[in-house]
Each structure stands twice: as structure tokens, then as C-alpha cells.
Amino acid sequence: MFKRLLTLLVSLILAISFVLNGTVYADTLNLKSKSAILMEANTGQILYEKDSHKPLPPASVTKVMTLLLAIEAIDSGKIKITDKVVTSKHAFDMGGTQIYLEVGEEMTVDDLMKAIAMNSANDASVALAEYIAGTEENFVEMMNKRAKELGAKNTTFKNATGLPEEGHLTSVYDIAMISRELVKHESIFKYLTNKLDSLRNGKFSLINTNKLLWRYKGADGIKTGSTSEALYCMAATAKRGDTRLIAVVFGAPDSETRFSEAAKLLDYGFANYESVKVASKGQSFGNVKVFKGKKQAVSVVCRDDEYILIKKGEGKNIKTEVELKNAVLAPLAKEVPIGTVKITQDGKIIKTFNIYPQEIVEKANFFENLNKVFIGWLKYQ
């Protein structure tokens, strides 16, 4: 009897230890993959992890970073989707999955993006990398620099493709962070959600390697990968309502396990959590007086959409508290916060974010200040 009670107590303690601050730890979902993570995209909160920081070969999931740098170049205007890229000998020489680019062949950035996102084409990845950075080596430097900026501490990229190379490693946590940045770009979903397409005027067919696009409700990305060393890997994302989840699995024993375990992670997240938008980009929270400025007041706004993550059924008693400065002195820059918003639930602060001037307010000159004084004097006459 005592042994049974002791066993029950130990089991209970272990079960409780698997859930800490809302995060489920291995192996409550009994995943076969070497490492895995589930992240809520809006807040970055981790909902599940298994060896999430362990450096492993990512195979073609590497191309999540390749796609990020490419879409950033497109959205910033550095390159255009209509630009034509000439295939180099280096790109032609890529092994593995390809679209069989010929040396000197021209293909638009748009078609190369489709080939990378849908077909995981290594030659297309290198051709686009060279177009953006001059050489693949330069592009790899950009990849590693961007990874560090995003907080990816266990990542070292050696190439733009994910082809096996000593020291080419990352973690599921790092890929989730990179994926989270990627899905901020709405224009990327044109490529990630494309199931069937073609190149070269219909002569070369493309079928998206992400089978969750057909199987899973709300699935709209991101990238698969596999090599004999990395086994089967995947970065997946799905959105339902305001809730976007990112699931990453590395080292699954077979392709079907990769998809089923990514789906299992997403199922767990959608069943237990939901995102709630508490502020919208550009939303005004009031006005603040401006002394000695060309304007007497400025609207205080939110710079980005702001979300909180809550457990299903626990979204009651959420309140917003706004704190604004009484007045500010010109000149006033848009980057300087002049207020804060606190989101509370049952009196407990669950999120705080800054709010900013809607516009720059320049300092008024002597005559403009004098005119304000005169107008103010007239009002009291």
C-alpha cells in the first residue's frame, strides 16, 4: 500500500513538473523526433519543447532563413520579383533537389522564390543568394548575422541550402525564432501556401513538399527538409482566428512521423491556447500636450499589433490601463515612448508595452511661440 502511494506521489510530481509557466516539456506528447518546439507566433511564448536548444543538422529547413533574407530584400525594395537572375556555374553545380538550372539560364526572382519554397530547389537557393549578396559566402555571412539578431544562439549556417556540411547546425528553437520573423511578412504566404505551380511556361511542375497544406486546417507554411544525417525535419505554421502557431521538429525517423508530430504539436496548441489582440497598430490612446512645439498636442499610438496568450476559457476580466505623460517638450521624435499600456487580468499585470507619438513634432521658433502667447492672451480678453 505504501509503495503504491509513493509511486502515485512520484508520478504526480513528475506530471506537475512537465507543466511549468504554461510550457509543456518532453515527453508528455510522446514524440519520436529528436527535438521539437511549439511557439505562439504573436507573443513568442513557448508552449512545448523537447531538447529545443540542441544543435542539429536542419537539412532544407535551412531555407527558412534563405527565404527570410530574400523576402526582406523584396519588401525593402532592394530587389524586385520581376528581376531576372542569371544562373552561375556554382548554382548549376548544386546537388540534391533542384529545378535543373542551366549555366546562363535566366529566371525571375518570383520563380526562384516558388522553386525554393515549394520544391526546396538547391540550385534556385544559391542563384538567389548570389543575386542578393554577390556570392553564396557573402549570403551565408548575412544568414548568420541575421540569426544572431533574432536571438538564435545555437545556429551556424555554412550554406544557403542545408546540404550536408560539417558544422552546419541549428536548433528547433532558433528555427522557430527565424520562422516567427518570416511569417511577419504577409507577402511570403504567396509562396508558402502555393500547392501546385510550374516554371518555364508550364514545362517544369512544382508540387509543394509541405503535405500539411492539404491535411491540416489553417496550415499555411513553412518548410520541410531531409537528409540521411538530419533525418526528417520540418518547420510548420498554422493560423486559426488571431492565433498563429509555429511547430518545428528535427530528426523524425520518417516523413510521415514528421508531418504527424508537427500536426500533434499544433493540435495541442489550438486545443489549449488562444491569442487575443489587445491593441492594433496605429491605435490612438489619447493626446499629450507639447510645450514649445509647432503643434500643441500629439496623438499617442501603438506601433505594432499587440497580443496576449491565454488558456482557452480563461479570457475574462482582462482590462487595459493607459498611463500618459502630462506634457512633453519639443522637439519630439517618434521613437521616444511617451506612455505605457498595462494589460491586467484579475488585477494582475500580464503585459506591458510602450506607446509613441504619432508624428514628429519640431521645436517652434521664437515668432511661432510668440504667436501662441498672443493667441492665448486674446482668448482671455
The CATH T-level fold of domain 280-366 is Peptidoglycan synthesis regulatory factor (PBP3), Domain 2 (2.60.410)
pLDDT in tens, 88-131: 999 999 999 999 999 999 999 999 999 999 999 999 999 999 99
Catalytic hit among 35, 52, 88, 120: 120
Domain boundaries, the chain: 18-275, 280-366
pLDDT of residue 14: 41
Burial class (CB in 10 A: 0-12, 13-18, 19+), 377: exposed
pLDDT in tens, 127-147: 999 999 999 999 999 999 999
pLDDT at residue 373 is higher than 80: no
Catalytic hit among 52, 60, 88, 179: 60
- Answer yes or no: are the C-beta atoms of 36 and 261 closer than 8 Å: yes
Burial class (CB in 10 A: 0-12, 13-18, 19+), 349: exposed
pLDDT of residue 24: 56
pLDDT in tens, 175-206: 999 999 999 999 999 999 999 999 999 999 99
Distance in angstroms (rounded) separating the CA atoms of residues 149 and 140? 14
CATH number for the domain formed by residue range(s) 18-275:
3.40.710.10
Distance in angstroms (rounded) separating the CA atoms of residues 176 and 64? 10
Give the Å distances, CA to CA, from 215 to 61, 221, 256.
20, 12, 12
Give the Å distances, CA to CA, from 109 to 87, 114, 311, 347.
12, 9, 42, 51
The pLDDT-based confidence of 13 (bands split at 50, 70, 90) is very low
Chain-centroid distance of CA 179 in Å reads 4
For the question of residue 60 being annotated catalytic, the response is yes
Pairing of strands 46-50, 35-40: antiparallel
Distance in angstroms (rounded) separating the CA atoms of residues 2 and 327? 68
For the question of residue 299 being annotated catalytic, the response is no
Catalytic hit among 50, 63, 158, 211: 63
For the question of residue 148 being annotated catalytic, the response is no
Distance in angstroms (rounded) separating the CA atoms of residues 29 and 220? 23
pLDDT in tens, 48-101: 999 999 999 999 999 999 999 999 999 999 999 999 999 999 999 999 999 999
